[in-house]
Amino acid sequence: MKKKVKILGLDCPNCAKTLETEINKLNNVKNGKIEFVKNSLEFESEDIDKALVDIINLTKQIEPNAKIISEQEKKKNYSIFIDVALLIIGIAISIIIHFVKMPVWCYWTFYCLAVVMIGYKTFIRACTLLFKGIINENLLITISVIGASIVSENMEGLMVITLYTIGKIFESLAVNKSRNSIEKLAQIQPEYANLIGDDGDETKVSPEEVKVGSLIIVKPGEKVPIDSVVISGTASVDTQSLTGESIPVTVSPKDNVLSGSIVLDGVLKLKTISEYQNSAISKILNLVENASENKSKTETFISKITRWYTLGIVILAVLVWGIVWAVTKNIDIAFYRGLIFLVISCPCAFAISVPLTYFSGLGNASKKGILIKGSSFLDACAKVNVVAFDKTGTLTTGKFEIEKIISFDKSKSEDDIIYLASLGEQYSLHPLAKTITNSCTKKLKQIKNVKEIAGHGVEFIYNKKHYFVGRKNKDQRQSAVEIYENDKKIGEILLHDTIKHSSFDVCNNLNKMGIKTVLLSGDNEESVKKVSDLLNIQESYCQLLPQDKYLWIEKNKNKSNRIGYVGDGINDAPSLTLANVGFSMGINGSPASIEASDIVLVDDNPNKIINAIKISKFTRKIVIENIVLSAIVKIVFLTLGSIGITGMLAAVFADVGVTLLAILNSMRALYYKNN
């Protein structure tokens, strides 16, 4: 059986990973998984109740402030307020014992009380994890505080734990800020739908219960529960949570409305065009849930190295202690310098700032309607220098209009040609097919033995005759659908598409950034050349089958060419998967293309590729800045501390200071504006 609960109070990605590892070691727990961004824990067990009790007990040991509650339970976590209160009281006691003379027993009583109040979480984690064979920064700090007390540097010991705790509180605030920016997406999830029954009465039901083609009512202040088309009514709709656009959109009959949009004024009568699980809001939430799983190589490397880093530092500290003792012949000096080495070597700046930077970058992108499925794809996006586009539905609106209907058979009228074409296209999701079937005025019969020929069209049997609808020959004038009866061409439907306004912006901006633009289309040469020239695309290829696009990416993808591919259809899925970064459309994109892609543009606006690339480049720049800054400061102070030039106080300021600087620098990725 599976169980999902909320886990509050986890403010450190590494702490969450450590807890997840220990949970999976429990005998009656399988596939335990902590979603740090969503504050959730999912696991499997044959005895759910017993497993949950064991997990709660283990969590109390490793993460004292973490609380596990049910998914339905709404409970605020006040641990950070408790930590701040205890920190303030601990600092007050520290000041008193430093300036007020008192008996030795009284001094040590208050000293121990202050140390415990300020750093109890650190000490508990250190001891608990040590017994489980895990050595991390909590142990380094604990050893440093105890060691400082042993060599009578009590106030320096207090300073160590005080500054470290302040750093952890800042880390908690920063992580929660990034987490909240992503979690806001979950708040747009509609809780109900006003379903109109056959008798005209309204009934509140769960969105999951509403079927395609149902009629629903959405009133002012309510969320649109399912992707729909407006039947009647006009209203202003807030789509900011979905698309990042702050200006409300006015919708009227025949306009599409995305689930998760908020109706600001007016009442809308809608007809649902998808099931809830296939609607925009459901897709977005699923993507957000899985975003934290795909970590970048940098983040994975830092995570792995910190596991062994701490053990290595303890060994090096012992070596420093031994060398200094051998040189100075003074065990107290040697021990003190070894402690300085432990403090300055604490890996917090690396372990905190790298995942926090990626969280901030992902959160910033999500606010702008760009869903990046993980930090690995954010890293890859920063390196893209070639962007290849599909044409229909990506650079163009995908909303076709019939230009001309041609009948080559005198016995068949234009309506007959449309009807025969619609028979074959009625099961297709292709934009051309939708345009044709929507223009058919006759009621379509359900036909069997429909066979799809990838990249060409469909064939079927009707009235004992064999029909083919699609494109056997590539029309040289404009988009066309051919109709064959018993291998004889009996008709042709010519259509045309319009270019999205945002397509002009994305191509111009990519060219300005020095990123090569390429158009890969299955359409005819004339149509492709026209779009390519209008958008100033550098290279274009026409009459390509899905496998041709795939082969082009495979041939051109190398260390010097990092390719981003942008598409929206089922046939784009292989290319989206093969490209270094796949961009899909969130509204009109097929489920297959959204699944195969690495980045989803929620509102189908291709110009947001520019935002994605700029946010990715900025985020990666901050990651490198934090790593370089932390490494330089640590190397300098490790050297100075080992030879006795700096004391523990300077080491603490250096360690905590660089950690705080790295955290503050990481937050820039959350507020970065790439306009």
Residues marked active site are found at: 390
Angle at 401 between CA 400 and CA 406, to 5 degrees: 120
- Please state, in angstroms and rounded to a whole number, the distance separating the CA atoms of residues 53 and 67: 12
| Rounded-to-integer distance, Cα 536 and Cα 517, Å | 9
Contact assessment for residue 584 and residue 593, using Cβ atoms and an 8 Å cutoff: yes
Residue 16 CA to chain centroid, in angstroms?
18
Secondary structure (H, E, C), 601-622: ECCCCCCHHHHHHHHHHHHHHH
* β-strand pairing of 599-601 with 581-585: parallel
Tokens of 536: 């100033």
- Calculate the CA dihedral of residues 421, 426, 430, 432 and round it to 10 degrees: 30
Compute CA distances 95 → 92, 99, 115, 158, 487, whole Å: 5, 6, 12, 10, 95
CA distances (Å), origin 233, targets 205, 215, 224, 242, 289: 22, 13, 14, 22, 35
Q: What is the CA radius of gyration of the chain?
A: 31
**Cα–Cα dist 463/103, whole Å:** 106
36 φ, ψ to 5°? -60, -40
Residue with tokens 């009465």: 201
> Per DSSP, what are the bridge partners of residue 453?
457
Sign of the Cα torsion 194, 196, 197, 202 reads: positive
User: Buried b / exposed e across 638-648, counting CB within 10 Å, b at 16+?
Assistant: bebbbeeebeb
